[in-house]
Amino acid sequence: MTTILFITGTDTGVGKTQVTAGIAASLRGSYSLWKPIQTGTTLGSTDADSYRLKYGSGTDQREEDIVSITLPDPLAPWMAAERASQSIDYQALVLEGQRRKKEARILLVEGAGGLAVPLTDNKLIVNLTVDLGLRILLVARPTLGTVNHTLLSISYAKQHGLQIAGIILNGYLSLEDPALAENVQMIEHYGGIPVIGTLPWFPCTASTEEEWILWREKWSKIVSSSVDIPRILPE
């Protein structure tokens, strides 16, 4: 039986890729990665999510096997495709997702932005998540405003019948900041979803293979000690 997790965020830039890579690295190879679509980059670029997923996780998957669609403009997929004079075949993505679900023991799927991001002119990211029957892991900021953004994302997911496995607050600057625990308390109280981990700001400046190995070892230790991974990916 395949265990599947769709990693989404309350916004773009909250660290979905870094969190996904860290979870994958902590699993030590018993997983498969999928990024249905990425924008604002080119395949092979060091700033591409697919590149950072590959080297941040240590997977043997080729970068072109991780990502399905890459578009150059930093826009929502629908508009990025329009700018590139391309169209996104939504049904093809659904079929690919179904195939990947059958082939992997653990499948980690990273979305683009949040759930309400336009994928095509009549489909949002949330539609792909629903059509593939995926549980979601919600990555949020730890800073001021995150309670509002997170509760709105929880409400939106529940409206679409999605199961939320948990929430991760990513990127705190100080564990001693009382606002961090207060945000966790408010999100759990009003959202009814557990915050299964809080992660520090841990920038990645790796460029060589050796640097990626060192960064990956450090980050995966932080993630595995700070996130209740068995809760979201039970054996």
29 CB-side CA count, 13 A: 1
Burial class (CB in 10 A: 0-12, 13-18, 19+), 43: middle
Cα 170 to Cα 129: distance, rounded to the nearest angstrom:
22
Beta strand spans in the chain (E): 3-9, 32-39, 67-71, 106-110, 136-140, 164-172, 195-200
Question: Does residue 79 contact residue 118 with C-beta atoms inside 8 Å?
Answer: yes
Residue 118 token pair = 């336009």
Cα 43 to Cα 187: distance, rounded to the nearest angstrom:
36
Cα 67 to Cα 119: distance, rounded to the nearest angstrom:
15
Residue 120 token pair = 């095509």
Three-state DSSP at 122 gives: coil
Question: Does residue 141 contact residue 149 with C-beta atoms inside 8 Å?
Answer: yes
Catalytic residues: 35
